[in-house]
């Protein structure tokens, strides 16, 4: 018996030992999803009708049938349209239950999956805030994970923003093919990203997962079938879904005969993927573009397939389960591994193959990029003005519901166009027209709001801006016109305004009766009076600020005659610069920095890449830029005229494609402003260009050639947030295109002595192809015969005339470091100019108006008022109380909150960028905002406003240089609560509550 007992004990331990050495099966997280482009080939309306509405209807129905099933929802625009226009009451109850159960999970949560290359910081934050506000108000959920599977490259700004919004992990996919291959082999597709060199680690670090070579689509190849794999619902049909439910290319159903073959294919793919990652967990995305519109077919085939694999998991070495993205990241987090850290490097530009550089879209559809930025600027201005109005005059005659509805329409349109196939210019022409239409209509609505805020009396006891203080003068008086100029920034600014008039002479006065030039305070507006006359004004104080400007025309110069140049130089000067123009070429010759007394040779002209002249695999299209050779000069002759002035001088250069052309093909208009005792103004050389219609298959650049020794090193901005150093790289293929980078707001080149900065009013592509050069791709017109382009109408036959603006700043590195960030914002948010009447007989004031009683809101020069708005979301700031409100069934969306103001302030400088301006700044928000009203309460929030900063505890990931982190606490009690210190590159977000006052 004893021997038997010992033998049994021995066998038990032996068995246990053998079992403990068996390899653990790979744990596979099957994540059902549908990639639903908000635009691209089909309009929003077409997509909703053909498939998008059916995705949510059928997914909700199918998840309700089986508790194992799960789904992730990404872009909010389609979901919100479905929720508001399609979903029944039963559907809404099902969604709420599934969200609570964690089986229907919102990922990213923004209105769209925004592009990362050509989008601006302001608009990325806006579209996330719009989506997050809806989700939190409606469901009480706050997305904590990203799913950036399709943007064409990854910026280092995006993970910072996601971290500030409260995300725990980030997911990307499209990075350079060769880099991804190396990362796969070395199991380095996952890392902790710290995208900002200035922010504290705990504020910004975020775990990042890079999808492997299969990306976000289920592997489509089936060795046993000609149909695509795992897409049992087939391919979506446009314009109408089939009545019989039979779609093209539906995969073979899972049956007893096919299940083993399906299982082998799926398991082989899982095992291949497992070799590229460090843990025993595999993310297996199940879906692709436009999938799950017939979810019953999808789940009814995947259910038995997954059951079969799990029943044979020992044989396969794999287990599979339906999962949400949060479950996958939770498994990784619990693995407790130590992860490598990635710094501020981004993944731009992006190439999918050696000859396919996705750098063309940086400049595609220039008009759309410009309209999108213009709309964003107008939205910002109207938000700030409406916020002031609501705080100061809560019972004023401007209907708050009407105004908020107009603002929300523009928020929606601006958010929508940030999609990665929208502002990128990679959509079909009809979709581009749709975006323009949505933006234009929404801007018209906001113009109505601006007019109401400017012109209606602020309360029933106050006259309007013309009102009863004026009476008509006699008919013999000259004509006059009134305009309003509003400064949407929290800085005092000096600038010049262009207003088109129909009379030869005009004198301008401000609302105090003083002749302009004038200065405008932060968040202030002033009325200006333009008096017209048929003859020049007489001297004296009333006419002393009006100047007659006449153009001096120079002879057109042919390129072939440029044998002797640099002998006849014509100066144009202001307080900051001396520009020399060569009369033998009509081109810019040099710029002298008057402060440093340093002269830099500078020439500007247009060059073009002739596209689609070579082999079929190397064609340029909406996405791709493929240089088939070096750029060639885009003109044969140049004309010039100069309009000297005492406020601003203007140099107009006209470039003729052929020397005998009557009409120019390109132009540069350079405005050289006087400083008016403000060196900030005279440092800015404002240039506007005209290009188009282009010849087919040309890509046109503005080339600025200088004597700077930059060794082809370039600096460009990442989404307007931070500057990235771009070192020129050589490749075996496509070197020109792979050295192009996105320029959203700024780019510069420099050497030890000087820096040349270009600031942009919209996104472009930019490169330094030779020492001392910076070239900006401004316009593209392309046609190819590739089946892909023709099939989806993505050939970019853009025949438009485009008129972008760049501002140029030249100076020492130290001087320009203090200027360019602020100047970029001044370009983006130029004053709003609104004519409030047509030229008419003069009006006479009964009594002097005196200075406006509206006090300015002014921040220090290194801080920027990023947002001042009334979102309208009606959720309780305390999460537990808000969830209680939701559970009670209260309809929160029907009662907007007009008393909560969203405030964001951003520090413009990187740590160490400037000895004075790059330091932390302490301000008292009660004092800063007193021009709006009396601040009574302040809450610090996450970037999109849905988290109280004191309750936000993001996951901590182990890294080699781990630092102990603690979330900062924010107190709102007493006066000390209003003191805020903002460090370099910080974005601080607050809910502000005012005690209403009247002026």
Closest CA to 391 of 996, 927, 902, 855: 996
Sign of the torsion angle spanned by Cα atoms 730, 735, 738, 744: positive
C-alpha 851 chain-centroid distance: 38
CA pair distance 27, 419, nearest whole angstrom: 33
Supply 609's token pair: 């890449």
With a CB cutoff of 8 Å and minimum separation 6, the contacts of 479 are 503, 531, 532, 839, 840, 841, 842
Supply 924's token pair: 């008292």
Closest CA to 820 of 705, 914, 739, 728: 914
8-state DSSP, 968: P
Supply 33's token pair: 């999803």
26 within 8 A of 282, measured Cβ to Cβ:
yes
Centre a 10 Å sphere on the Cβ of residue 808 and count the other Cβ atoms it contains. 20
870 within 8 A of 387, measured Cβ to Cβ:
yes
Supply 848's token pair: 């002097």
150 is catalytic: yes
Closest CA to 78 of 103, 119, 49: 49
8-state DSSP, 744: S
Supply 845's token pair: 């004031």
Count of all residues that appear for the chain in the document: 999
Single out the catalytic residue among 115, 150, 421, 798: 150
Supply 350's token pair: 């992006």
Centre a 10 Å sphere on the Cβ of residue 620 and count the other Cβ atoms it contains. 28
Supply 128's token pair: 């996330």
With a CB cutoff of 8 Å and minimum separation 6, the contacts of 247 are 233, 234, 235, 236, 237, 241, 294
CA pair distance 555, 665, nearest whole angstrom: 17
Centre a 10 Å sphere on the Cβ of residue 183 and count the other Cβ atoms it contains. 18
Residue 367, phi then psi, degrees to nearest 5: -65, -45
Q: Which helix (H) or strand (E) holds 192?
A: strand 190-193
CA pair distance 766, 338, nearest whole angstrom: 38
CA pair distance 220, 230, nearest whole angstrom: 7
Supply 590's token pair: 């040099």
Strands 921-924 and 840-841: unpaired
Tokens 């909560």 locate to: 900
DSSP string covering 309-353, please? HHHTHHHHTEEEEE--HHHHHHHHHHT---B-EE-S--B-S-EEE
User: How many alpha carbons fall within 13 Å on the CB side of residue 853?
Assistant: 8
CA pair distance 156, 2, nearest whole angstrom: 69
Supply 932's token pair: 């709006």
User: How many alpha carbons fall within 13 Å on the CB side of residue 256?
Assistant: 0
* Helix axes of 76-85 and 400-416: crossing angle, nearest 10 degrees: 140
With a CB cutoff of 8 Å and minimum separation 6, the contacts of 474 are none
8-state DSSP, 419: B
CA pair distance 108, 144, nearest whole angstrom: 7
Paired with 780 in beta bridges are 699
Closest CA to 620 of 608, 603, 632, 636: 608
119 within 8 A of 418, measured Cβ to Cβ:
yes
Catalytic residues: 150
């Amino acid at each position: 018996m004893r021997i038997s007992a010992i033998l049994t004990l021995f066998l038990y331990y032996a068995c246990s030992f053998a079992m403990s050495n068996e390899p653990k099966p790979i744990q596979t997280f099957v994540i059902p999803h549908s990639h639903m482009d908000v635009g691209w080939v089909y309009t929003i309306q077409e997509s909703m009708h053909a498939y998008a509405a059916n995705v949510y209807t059928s997914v909700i129905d199918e998840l309700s049938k089986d508790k194992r099933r799960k789904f992730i929802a990404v872009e909010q625009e389609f979901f919100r349209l479905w929720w508001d226009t399609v979903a029944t009451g039963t559907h809404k109850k099902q969604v709420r239950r599934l969200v609570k159960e964690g089986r229907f999970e919102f990922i990213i949560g923004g209105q769209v999956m925004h592009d990362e290359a050509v989008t601006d910081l302001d608009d990325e934050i806006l579209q996330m805030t719009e989506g997050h506000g809806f989700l939190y108000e409606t469901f009480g959920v706050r997305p904590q994970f990203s799913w950036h599977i399709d943007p064409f490259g990854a910026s280092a700004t995006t993970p910072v923003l996601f971290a500030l919004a409260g995300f725990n992990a980030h997911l990307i996919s499209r990075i350079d093919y060769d880099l991804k291959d190396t990362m796969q082999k070395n199991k380095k597709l996952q890392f902790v990203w710290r995208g900002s060199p200035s922010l504290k680690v705990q504020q910004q670090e975020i775990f990042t997962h890079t999808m492997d070579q299969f990306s976000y689509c289920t592997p489509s190849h089936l060795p046993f079938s000609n149909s695509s794999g795992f897409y049992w619902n087939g391919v979506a049909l446009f314009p109408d879904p089939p009545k019989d439910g039979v779609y093209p290319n539906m995969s073979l159903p899972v049956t007893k005969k096919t299940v083993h073959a399906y299982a082998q294919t799926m398991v082989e793919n899982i095992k291949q993927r497992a070799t590229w990652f460090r843990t025993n967990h595999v993310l297996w995305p199940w879906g692709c573009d436009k999938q799950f519109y017939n979810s019953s077919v999808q789940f009814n085939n995947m259910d038995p397939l997954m059951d079969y694999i799990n029943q044979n998991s020992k044989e396969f070495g794999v287990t599979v389960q339906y999962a949400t993205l949060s479950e996958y990241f939770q498994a990784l987090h619990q693995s407790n591994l130590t992860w490598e850290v990635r710094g501020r490097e981004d993944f731009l530009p992006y190439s999918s193959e050696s000859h396919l550089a996705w750098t063309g879209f940086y400049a595609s559809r220039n008009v759309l990029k410009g309209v999108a930025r213009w709309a964003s600027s107008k939205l910002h201005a109207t938000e700030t003005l409406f916020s002031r109005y609501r705080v100061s005059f809560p019972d004023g005659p401007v209907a708050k519901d009407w105004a908020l509805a107009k603002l929300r329409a523009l928020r929606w349109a601006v958010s929508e166009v940030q999609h990665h196939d929208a502002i990128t210019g990679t959509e079909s022409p009809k979709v581009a027209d749709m975006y323009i239409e949505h933006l234009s209509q929404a801007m018209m609505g906001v113009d109505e709001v601006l007019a109401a805020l400017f012109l209606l009396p602020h309360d029933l006891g106050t006259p309007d801006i013309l009102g009863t203080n004026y009476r008509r003068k006699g008919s013999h008086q000259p004509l006059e016109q009134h305009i309003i100029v509003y400064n949407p920034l929290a800085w005092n600014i000096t600038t010049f305004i262009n207003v088109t008039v129909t009379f030869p002479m005009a004198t301008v006065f401000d609302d105090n009766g003083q002749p302009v030039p004038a200065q405008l305070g932060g968040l202030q507006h002033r009325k200006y009076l333009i008096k017209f006359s048929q003859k020049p004004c007489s001297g004296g104080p009333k006419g002393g600020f009006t100047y007659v400007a006449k153009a001096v025309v120079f002879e057109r110069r042919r390129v072939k005659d440029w044998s002797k140049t640099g002998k006849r130089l014509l100066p144009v000067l202001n307080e900051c610069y001396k520009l020399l123009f060569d009369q033998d070429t009509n081109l810019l010759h040099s710029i002298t920095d008057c402060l440093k007394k340093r002269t830099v040779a500078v020439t500007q002209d247009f060059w073009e890449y002739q596209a689609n002249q070579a082999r079929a695999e190397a064609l340029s299209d909406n996405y791709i830029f493929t240089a088939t050779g070096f750029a060639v000069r885009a003109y044969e002759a140049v004309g010039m005229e100069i309009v000297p002035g005492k406020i601003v001088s203007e140099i107009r250069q006209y470039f003729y494609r052929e020397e005998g052309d009557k009409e120019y093909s390109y132009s540069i208009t350079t405005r050289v402003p006087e400083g008016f005792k403000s060196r900030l103004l005279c440092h800015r050389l404002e240039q506007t260009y005209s290009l188009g219609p282009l010849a087919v298959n040309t890509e046109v650049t503005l080339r600025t050639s200088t004597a700077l020794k930059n060794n082809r090193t370039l600096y460009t901005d990442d989404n307007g947030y931070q500057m990235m150093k771009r070192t020129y790289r050589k490749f075996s293929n496509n070197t020109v295109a792979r050295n192009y980078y996105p320029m959203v707001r700024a780019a510069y080149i420099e050497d030890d002595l000087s820096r040349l900065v270009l600031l942009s009013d919209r996104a472009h592509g930019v490169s330094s192809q030779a020492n001392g050069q910076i070239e900006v791709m401004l316009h593209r017109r392309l046609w190819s015969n590739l089946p892909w382009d023709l099939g989806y109408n993505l050939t970019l036959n853009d025949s438009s005339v485009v008129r972008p603006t760049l501002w140029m700043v030249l100076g020492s590195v130290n001087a320009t470091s203090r200027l360019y960030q602020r100047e970029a914002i001044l370009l983006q948010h130029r004053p709003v100019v609104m004519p409030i009447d047509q030229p008419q007989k003069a009006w006479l004031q009964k009594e002097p108006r005196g200075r406006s009683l509206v006090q300015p809101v002014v921040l220090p020069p290194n801080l920027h008022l990023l947002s001042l708005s009334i979102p309208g979301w009606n959720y309780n700031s305390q999460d537990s109380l808000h969830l209680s409100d939701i559970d009670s069934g209260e309809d929160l969306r029907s009662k907007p909150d007009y008393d909560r103001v969203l405030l964001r302030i951003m520090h413009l400088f990187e740590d160490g960028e400037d000895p004075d301006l790059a330091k932390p700044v302490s301000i008292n928000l009660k004092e800063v905002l007193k021009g709006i009203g009396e601040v009574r309460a302040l809450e610090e929030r996450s970037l999109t406003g849905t988290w109280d900063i004191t309750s936000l505890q993001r996951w901590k990931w182990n890294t080699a240089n781990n630092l102990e982190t603690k979330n900062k606490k924010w107190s709102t009690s007493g006066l000390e609560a209003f003191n805020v210190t903002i460090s370099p590159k910080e974005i601080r977000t607050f809910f502000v509550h005012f005690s209403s006052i009247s002026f």
